[in-house]
Amino acid sequence: MSLKILVSIDIEGVAGVMHPEQTRGGCSEYERARAWMTDEANAAIRGALTGGATQVLVNDAHGSFHNLLLERIDERARVITGKPRTLGMMAGVEQGCDAVCMIGYHASAQTAGVLAHTINSFAFRRVRVNGREMGEAGLYGALAGEFGAPVALLSGDDVFLAETLPLFPGAIGVETKCAQGYAACASLTPTRACREIQQAAQTAMSRIPDLRPFTITGPLECELTAQTPGLADLFSQLPGLERMSVCALRFRADTMQSIVRVLNTLSAMSFMLR
């Protein structure tokens, strides 16, 4: 029986990552962090295949979307890399994936998680969908749900797991570190984190038949708070956005895919003001 898995991997939730310079290219600390990110992706791949997966897609889902060291990725997987992509961090789910593993994810903006943010820390202070606060895992988990794919595994810090696991009943969570501030944590070693992710991924495969996709029924309304009035001025230029206050805007959509695409468009627009 075919079992196709999407591994979507970010970097902020990877064991040992706790400082902004580790998430941006151009320094040795980033090179170390992307190696740890690659190792955690491999751990999820190995665990999924050992647990019964027949195909694994890996989505390089951080920043520029080209962070993974492809020469070190398990050759049994295929890697989705580069941008722009219509489905962003969830690209690949449209290829008939049976479940999703979110590895190295982080807590939403305005929480106590390590390097916590939602999509773009420069652009967005807060994102809500139908009144519910949403981080990246919630937004993209609901997008995966529209394609019938449940979330089977999550890894990241304790704050991320506490806010996210309730959205995905039956999913397994791996705590890679305990947040002690925005840029401080008590972390597992990379070796131990990979071991725990691999074991959890293997176990998660047997749970997939009992999992249900996470969906938010429409009509949908997204409220977002920009980081500055200037950014709200900029975002207001996009048709369909309604200015609610100095920094708050909202828009309506029929699907989570549309909401994610609008948010990613606004994120790209924000670079005009950097």
Amino acid 130: pLDDT? 97
Burial 168-187 (b: 16+ CB within 10 A, else e): beebbbbbbbebeebeebeb
Amino acid 159: pLDDT? 98
Residue 53 one-letter amino acid: A
Residue with tokens 């909401």: 259
* Pick from 4, 267, 41: nearest CA to 139: 267
**CATH 3.40.50.10780 in the chain, residues?**
4-119+133-210
Question: 4-119+133-210: CATH homologous superfamily?
Answer: Dipeptide transport protein (3.40.50.10780)
**Tens digit of each residue's pLDDT, the chain (274 residues):** 899 999 999 999 999 999 999 999 999 999 999 999 999 999 999 999 999 999 999 999 999 999 999 999 999 999 999 999 999 999 999 999 999 999 999 999 999 999 999 999 999 999 999 999 999 999 999 999 999 999 999 999 999 999 999 999 999 999 999 999 999 999 999 999 999 999 999 999 999 999 999 999 889 999 999 999 999 999 999 999 999 999 999 999 999 999 999 999 999 999 999 9
Amino acid 256: pLDDT? 97
Gap between the Cα atoms of 108 and 116, Å rounded: 5
Angle, vertex CA 181, rays to CA 266 and CA 167, nearest 5: 60
- The residues near 71 (Cβ < 8 Å, ≥ 6 apart) are none
Give the CA radius of gyration of the chain: 18
Amino acid 218: pLDDT? 80
Amino acid 250: pLDDT? 98
- And the tokens for 51? 């647990």
Phi, psi of 175 (to 5 degrees): -85, 110
Amino acid 110: pLDDT? 96
**Bridge partner list, 129:** 132, 222
187 touches 32 (CB < 8 A): no
